[in-house]
Amino acid sequence: MRLPKRLAAIAEFVPPGKVAADIGTDHAYLPVYLVQTGRSPRVIATELNEKPWMRARFWVSSFHLEDKIEVRLGAGLQVLSPGEVQVVVVAGMGQNTIRELLAATPAVLYRLERLILQPMSDAGNLRLWLVDNGWRLVQEALVEDQGRLYVIVVAEQGEETTKDRLLIEIGPRLAEKGGPLFVAYLKQLKKKYQRILSGLERSRLPAAQEKALKLTAKLARVREVMGKYAGQS
């Protein structure tokens, strides 16, 4: 089975031989691929909603993989027991949802060896949450799929070496590698910060001005990192 580019890149970060859980699996494409390729001996696929849960069960059974992929219905990591899996994938959800579902079940979370996260929004906030909660950023990747840029953040337990919080928001492992996709990512980030900033600058509220100051610092850091990679786009 051929996976979409985004999911194929995520699969590459699952260490061979480890039992994984795919939280919010929807169609269960990733679990089927991980088991079919022999990368994972067993996968637990989870879904919050009944329709995608049924879709996942159907897809798994159409490959006769029920003995290796269990499809569970429920919220986040709550359907897992502590120590049951070593790797958790959460892909295609907003960063708020990802943070909330990780924070909701510390007993499961802190028995995991690796998190592979692909947020659909504000990866910066998610990175900050990770480093503030005992996780270090081990790898990051950018994938362009059907005209959209996706960020994958891989974290393991431990202390993050990068202390610069603005750089953590930008993506320290991405910044180490550089490359054309990273330059495109920085451009997107710059555009987003500029857009928010111009809204804040129209407000006279002290809270908005404070936010604008913080955002100006972020923007300056993005420009600084962009300067380092000028010529790679």
Ligand X SMILES: C[S@@+](CC[C@H](N)C(=O)[O-])C[C@H]1O[C@@H](n2cnc3c(N)ncnc32)[C@H](O)[C@@H]1O
Site for ligand X, rule CB under 6 A: 23-26, 46-49, 52, 75-76, 91-93, 97, 101
Nearer to ligand X, 89 or 189 (CB): 89
Nearer to ligand X, 23 or 155 (CB): 23
Q: Which two tokens stand for residue 201?
A: 């600058």
Contacts of 84 (CB under 8 A, 6+ apart): 19, 21, 44, 108
Contacts of 229 (CB under 8 A, 6+ apart): 178, 179, 182, 183, 186
Instruction: Name the minimum Å distance from CB 217 to ligand X.
Output: 32
Instruction: Name the minimum Å distance from CB 32 to ligand X.
Output: 12
Q: Which two tokens stand for residue 36?
A: 């079919």
Instruction: Name the minimum Å distance from CB 26 to ligand X.
Output: 3
Identify the helix (H) or strand (E) that includes residue 82. Answer: none
Nearer to ligand X, 148 or 202 (CB): 148
Nearer to ligand X, 59 or 182 (CB): 59
Instruction: Name the minimum Å distance from CB 174 to ligand X.
Output: 20
Length of the chain: 233
Contacts of 217 (CB under 8 A, 6+ apart): 166
Instruction: Name the minimum Å distance from CB 211 to ligand X.
Output: 28
Nearer to ligand X, 93 or 189 (CB): 93
Q: Tally DSSP H helices, then E strands, for the chain.
A: 10, 7
The CA distance from 62 to 93, in Å, is 26
